Structure 1
Amino acid sequence: MNLELEGKTAFITGSTAGIGFATARALIKEGAFVILNGRSKEKVDKVVKELQDEFPESKVSGLAADFLYLNEIKALQKELPTIDILINNVGIYTSGNFFESTNADWQQQFEVNVMSGVRLSKYLLPKMIDKDWGRILFVSSECATLVPADMIAYSMTKAAILAVSRGLAQLTKGTGVTVNTIVPGSTLSEGAEQFLENAAKKESKTKTQIEAEFFTQKRTSSLLQRFASVEEVAHTITYLVSPLSSATNGAAIKVDGGSMGGIL
C-alpha cells in the first residue's frame, strides 16, 4: 500500500532508539524526509549515519536537544524547517517507591514527557493549520490506565498526554490537520531488553522464561502475552501520520495487545 508520504517532512523526538527509531525507518521506507532527535549530538550523528548507510537515497538528518531545558528547545525550534509531521515520542521514567520519589522525579518526567509535546505543538500547529495539512501524533502508554504502583509519576504523564492531544485535535476542526495519540503496550525496546537480561541474570533463568513470567504474573491482562516489537508499533504510527488516515482525529489508538481492556 502506498501511504502517500513521499516528500513529507517528519520530526520525531527521542528517535535514536526504540519506537522512535523504528518509526524513522518506517517513514524513510515510505519516502518521507525524517529529522531525528536525541539528547547528544554524537548519538544523533551516529544514528543519522547508520540510516544514511542503510538507505543511501534517503533524506535524513538530525537535531540534538534535551527537552528538559528550555534554551535547548528554543534553539531546536529555530533550526526546524517546515514540518508536515510531528511525532511526540520522547519520554523518560523512574521506577521506585512512591513515598521515596522526589519533586524533581515528578517535575522532570512532566517536563520531558508532556511539555515537550505541548511546546512543539504550540510552535508547529499554527503553521500546519495555515497550510491546511499536518499530522501531530503523541506516544502515550498502557501505563496511562494500568498505572503500575512503581511508576505513578510516569503514568500520570502518559495520562496527561491523552488530554493534551484531544484538546489540540479540537483546534483543528474543519482543517486537513489531525492530532492523535497512540497507546502502546509492553514493547520490546532497548529498555525492555535490558530489563529481561538483568532479571534473567539475577534469577538464573532465560530471557524467554522471564518474559513469560512477566505476562503470567504482572501483565496478566495482556491478550498478546508477549512484548510487541518496536516495528509493530511503528507500523501503526506510520499509517496514522499518513494522508490515508485523514478521517482519524482526536483519537487514542491502542497498540497494547489487549492489556487495557474495554470495548473502546
Structure 2
Amino acid sequence: MELNLSGKTALVSASTSGIGYAIATQLLEEGARVIINGRSETTVAQAVTTLTDRFGAGRALPLIADVSVAGGENIAATAYPEIDILVNNMGTYALSDFFLTSDEDWERMFSTNVWSGVRLARTYMKSMLERGHGRVIFISSEVALTPMASMAHYSASKATQLSISRSLAELTKGTAVTVNSVLPGPTETESLKGFIESVNPGLAYADAERKFISENRPSSLIYRLAKPSEVANVVAFLASERAALINGAAIRAEGGTVQTIA
C-alpha cells in the first residue's frame, strides 16, 4: 500500500534511536521530510547524516532541543514553524517501588512522557486545524490499559496520554486533522535488549528474550519482543491519508498482550 507522504513534513520527538528513529526512517521511506529531534548535537548529527546518506539531502532535518522542559517547544517552532505530522514519541520508563518513588520521580516521568507532547501539540496543532489537515500521534504503551504496580508512575503517564489524545481529537471536528495514540508492547530497543542481557548473563539472547516474555508478558500472542520497525509501520499508516477514518483512537500494537476484545 502506497502511503504517499511526499510533500509532508513530520516532527518525531526523541528520534535519534529506538522506536523514534524507526518511525523517522519509515516516514522518510514514504516520502516525507522528517525533523530528527534529540538533546545532543552529536546524536542528532549522526542520525541526520546516516539518514541523509540513505534518503538524500534535505529530507532528514536536525532539531537539537529537549522538549521535555518548558521552552524546548519554542526552539522547535522557531526552527520549523509549521509541520504536517507530529509524532509525540519522547518518553522514559523506570521500574520503581511505589513507596520509594519520590515526587521528583513522578514529576520527571510526567515532564518527559506527558508535558513534552502537550507542549508540542499546543505549539503545532492550532495551525493544523486552521489549515484543515494534519496528524498528531502519541506513542503511549500497553501499560496504559494494564497498569503495573512496579511502574505506577509510568503507567499513569501513559494512561494520561490516552486521555489527552482523545481530548485533542474532539477539537478536530469538521477538519481532516486526526489525533490518535499507538500502544506498543515491549519492543526490542537497545535499552530493553541491554536490560534483558544484563539480567541473564551467559544465556543466549534468543533464550533470554523468551524468558523475559514468559515471566513478564505471558499473555503475548506473538511471544516475542516487537521490532521498532513494526511499531513504525503502524505510525506511518496513521500519518497517511489512508487512515482518514481513524480519529480519537488508541491503536494497540502490542502483539495481543492485552486480553480484551476492544
- Which range, TM-score by smaller chain? over 0.9
Q: Compute the TM-score of the two structures, normalised by the length of structure 2.
A: 0.96
Give the secondary-structure state (helix, strand or coil) at the position aligned to 1:126: helix
Is residue 73–residue 123 contact of structure 2 (8 Å, CA) maintained in 1?
A: no
Matched with 1:51 is 51
Letter in 2 for 1:183: L
Letter in 2 for 1:261: Q
Matched with 1:248 is 246
Is residue 33–residue 59 contact of structure 1 (8 Å, CA) maintained in 2?
A: yes
For 1:218 and 1:251, locate their aligned partners in 2 and report how far apart those are by CA, in whole Å: 26
For 2:56 and 2:73, locate their aligned partners in 1 and report how far apart those are by CA, in whole Å: 30
Bigger shift: residues 12-21 or 209-218: 209-218
User: Aligned runs of 1:110-125 on 2, under 5 Å?
Assistant: 110-125=110-125
Matched with 2:108 is 108
For 1:41 and 1:99, locate their aligned partners in 2 and report how far apart those are by CA, in whole Å: 37
Bigger shift: residues 114-123 or 64-73: 64-73
Give the secondary-structure state (helix, strand or coil) at the position aligned to 1:220: coil
Matched with 1:258 is 256
Matched with 1:70 is 70
Q: How many residues align?
A: 262
Bigger shift: residues 180-189 or 90-99: 90-99
Is residue 94–residue 105 contact of structure 1 (8 Å, CA) maintained in 2?
A: no
Matched with 1:207 is 205
Identity of aligned residues (%): 41
Matched with 2:32 is 32
Does structure 1 residue 151 correspond to structure 2 residue 151? yes
For 1:67 and 1:101, locate their aligned partners in 2 and report how far apart those are by CA, in whole Å: 23
Does structure 1 residue 90 correspond to structure 2 residue 90? yes
TM superposition shift of 1:169: 0.3
* From 236, 239, 252, the counterpart of 1:238: 236
Matched with 1:127 is 127
Is residue 15–residue 37 contact of structure 1 (8 Å, CA) maintained in 2?
A: yes
For 2:57 and 2:15, locate their aligned partners in 1 and report how far apart those are by CA, in whole Å: 20
Bigger shift: residues 48-57 or 71-80: 71-80
Q: Deviations over 1:139-196 (max 9, x none)?
A: 0001112222221111110000000000000100110100000000111111111112
What are the ranges of 5 or more consecutive residues in structure 2 without an aligned counterpart? Answer: none
**Runs of 4+ in structure 1 over 6 Å off:** none
What are the ranges of 5 or more consecutive residues in structure 1 without an aligned counterpart? Answer: none
Is residue 18–residue 189 contact of structure 1 (8 Å, CA) maintained in 2?
A: yes
For 1:57 and 1:235, locate their aligned partners in 2 and report how far apart those are by CA, in whole Å: 23
Aligned Cα root-mean-square deviation (Å)? 1.2
For 1:244 and 1:146, locate their aligned partners in 2 and report how far apart those are by CA, in whole Å: 29
Matched with 1:167 is 167
Is residue 31–residue 58 contact of structure 1 (8 Å, CA) maintained in 2?
A: no
Matched with 1:182 is 182
For 1:13 and 1:130, locate their aligned partners in 2 and report how far apart those are by CA, in whole Å: 23
Q: Compute the TM-score of the two structures, normalised by the length of structure 1.
A: 0.96
For 2:68 and 2:22, locate their aligned partners in 1 and report how far apart those are by CA, in whole Å: 23
TM superposition shift of 1:197: 1.6
For 1:76 and 1:87, locate their aligned partners in 2 and report how far apart those are by CA, in whole Å: 13
TM superposition shift of 1:251: 0.5
Q: Deviations over 1:71-128 (max 9, x none)?
A: 3332222222320000000001222211111111100110110111111111111100
For 1:48 and 1:102, locate their aligned partners in 2 and report how far apart those are by CA, in whole Å: 37
Bigger shift: residues 3-12 or 216-225: 216-225
For 2:117 and 2:160, locate their aligned partners in 1 and report how far apart those are by CA, in whole Å: 11
